């Protein structure tokens, strides 16, 4: 048979949105999801690709629980090379609850916009809710652009430094490279365990 077809990996573990379901995840789950996402994004960015729609519904699980980043339908190749460089054409595409300030404003974006999206997902994993709530997309976008980064509850406050870095309003204040997230994440995870996270 010469008929072309597309084959995709079967992922029976559902998605992160289903797992959160309005409730905070355990400390180990938060660590595993964030580590898996940071690793996946590092690979994408090294290949010169910005995802642009990081959200729980696009984070899938294999049978063994490992994380897979899906739905690259609105991903864009970064200009110039695999380096972290800005997209040549600005666009305000994405999902409002997880959209970076520069993305919400239709400005040029780069890999650091995906870091912001990861920060919003981290917040939701830690608290069970999105960082900002509003009656419509415009209200939510306004908060992403102008409102302070939300504070985590005391039991999860050890992750606040990472959240502040990922969700910095100015992309220049985020990580220079997505792979730099991993050692910081591991250090804070160990700190939370030592502090006795009650949701561990």
Reported as a single tens digit per residue, the pLDDT across 117-166 is: 999 999 999 999 999 998 899 999 999 999 999 999 999 999 999 999 99
pLDDT at 58: 94
Using one digit for the tens of pLDDT, what is the confidence trace for 65-102?
Answer: 999 998 765 555 455 444 333 433 444 567 899 999 99
Q: Give the residue-averaged pLDDT of 161-181.
A: 97
pLDDT beyond 70 at 30? yes
CA–CA distance from 175 to each of 43, 56, 122, 178, 183 (Å)? 15, 21, 15, 6, 12
Higher-pLDDT residue of 2 and 147 is: 147
Sign of the CA dihedral running 77, 112, 144, 72: positive
pLDDT at 13: 84
pLDDT at 90: 43
Number of residues assigned to the chain: 200
Cα–Cα distance measured from residue 186 to residue 192, given in angstroms and rounded to the nearest whole number: 10
Residue 181, domain CATH? 1.10.510.10
pLDDT at 82: 40
Cα–Cα distance measured from residue 107 to residue 2, given in angstroms and rounded to the nearest whole number: 44
pTM recorded for the entire structure? 0.87
pLDDT at 92: 52
pLDDT at 2: 84
Whether 8 is covered by a domain: the verdict is no
Whether 21 is covered by a domain: the verdict is yes
Parent domain of 78 = 16-193
Q: What angle do CA 35, 165, 134 make, to 5 degrees?
A: 95
- Label residue 31 by pLDDT band (50, 70, 90): very high
Nearest to 113 by CA among 182, 174, 65, 158: 174
Cα–Cα distance measured from residue 185 to residue 178, given in angstroms and rounded to the nearest whole number: 12
Whether 78 is covered by a domain: the verdict is yes
Whether 1 is covered by a domain: the verdict is no
Catalytic residue among 53, 110, 114, 197: 53
Whether 2 is covered by a domain: the verdict is no
pLDDT at 93: 63
When divided into structural domains, the chain yields a total of 1
29 phi and psi angles, rounded to 5 deg: -65, -45
Query: Is 53 marked active-site?
Result: yes
Whether 140 is covered by a domain: the verdict is yes
pLDDT at 87: 39
């Amino acid at each position: 048979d010469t008929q072309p077809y597309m084959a995709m990996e079967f992922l029976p573990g559902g998605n992160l949105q289903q797992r959160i379901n309005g409730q905070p995840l355990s400390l180990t789950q938060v660590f595993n999801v964030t580590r898996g996402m940071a690793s996946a994004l590092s690979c994408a960015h090294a290949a010169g690709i910005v995802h642009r729609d990081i959200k729980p519904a696009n984070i899938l699980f294999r049978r063994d629980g490992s994380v897979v980043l899906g739905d690259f339908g609105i991903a864009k190749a970064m200009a110039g090379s695999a380096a972290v460089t800005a997209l040549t054409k600005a666009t305000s595409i994405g999902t409002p609850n997880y959209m970076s300030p520069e993305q919400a404003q239709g400005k040029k974006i780069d890999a650091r916009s995906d870091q912001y999206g990861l920060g919003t997902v981290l917040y939701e994993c830690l608290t069970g809710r999105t960082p900002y709530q509003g009656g419509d997309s415009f209200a939510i976008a306004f908060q992403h652009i102008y409102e302070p980064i939300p504070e985590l509850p005391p039991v999860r406050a050890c992750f606040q430094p990472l959240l502040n870095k990922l969700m910095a309003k100015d992309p220049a204040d985020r990580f220079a490279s997505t792979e730099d997230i991993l050692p910081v994440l591991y250090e804070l995870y160990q700190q939370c365990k030592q502090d006795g996270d009650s949701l561990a």
